[in-house]
Structure 1
Amino acid sequence: YTKPLANIREMKKLIILFILISKIGFGQDTKYLSENYEFKNGEIAYMFGNDVKLRDQPNAKSNVLALLKIGEQIEIMEKSDSTMKFDGIESPWYKVKTNDKVGFVLGSLISLDKATKGNLTYLVSLKKDGLKLFAKTRVLENGLDFKENISQLMTGEFSIKAVGNKGLENIKSIFKIDYLAESCGVNGGGIYLFYDGENLIKAIDYTQVADADAY
């Protein structure tokens, strides 16, 4: 692997400069995500998994009604009382509506949020290995083909945003995972992923102390 990020050091310098000068902003209606995030009734969501089985009951042994594609829009009807462990996380089954069908899908296979920039769509889900929490990020460009990045999170609550390349050569888009710093001494910061059209790569992973008085 040589081509896309040959100048990664220079890019890191530019991104760090960008962080210092004009931090990527998040609005007041920022959606914060976590392992315990629950979809609300009536919420519009999007599939993270591809060819996900829409089932007639909230379990993995029930009849399959349809296959849902990655990025496909669904409407959350209600959270069921049934759960199943997936990628290390106990996840509830949700009753959802898509097109003319109503059925159940596992919450871990629904994207926690969606971010778009131009013709790029970013989707995110979580996995857990012991106490370590990881963000799974997928980017779709013109269709169902996707690239994936899995990066460990330093905090349990975060938000996402997609922006342009900020003038970086060979980069199509920058995706930011923004850590929530809830109190003094809790790490804020985040992760920057670069998408170059072929790969989605973690370029920057930084933390910051929420309040200097924490020292």
Structure 2
Amino acid sequence: MAYDQSAMLKLLRPAVTRILTPLGRALARRGISPNVVTAVGTIGTVAAALFFYPRGELFLGTLVITFFVLADLLDGVMARMTGSGSLWGAFLDSTLDRVGDAGIFSGLVFWFIVSDQLVLAGVALFCLVAGAVVSYIKARAEGLGMTCNVGLAERPERLVVGLVSAGLGGLGLPYILAVGLWLLALASAITVGQRLWNVHRQAVSSPPHTLR
């Protein structure tokens, strides 16, 4: 399970755990490991992004992607249930999160390009890059012995805004996808700034030898 879960997801964890526990228990009894669930969820997410491009089925694509994104929660439930959590599992989950995000937003980028919405293609691309930078800042800060748990738009928020906007846009609601992506781009940029400032404050107050 990824370590970059936000406060929102933590508040929802008890309810989600109760829902997913029976499924997690059934998979564990069949010898399926949390890491397998993580990999299948990522593969499914990337494959489901093909509904965005080339098919342009934003609503259906959102539903299928949401189904596979739940695997990001299920693997954590299974790891806690079976006591099989590991450093490798945490590393794999965080890495594959980036792959899943890339699949989702790349699908949107290509769809906007072929539908001649080049400005929105650029906004979606910015959301993809900014999301990766947000995650990298935290990973790099923790690698240097600092913490970086701040930010307006962490991964759960980015997924919720992106997928809800795409789904509603796929239902034909005008402007909702554009508004959602612009808001997400702004929130992501703010989050990058928040995390850079947070790390900067820690770095300048720490002795140089502690950062090596």
TM-score class, shorter-chain normalisation, is under 0.3
Ranked by relative contact order (alpha carbons within 8 Å, sequence separation 6 or more), the top structure is 2
Q: Compute the TM-score of the two structures, normalised by the length of structure 2.
A: 0.24
**Structure with the larger strand share:** 1
Higher helix proportion, which one?
2
TM-score, normalization by structure 1: 0.23
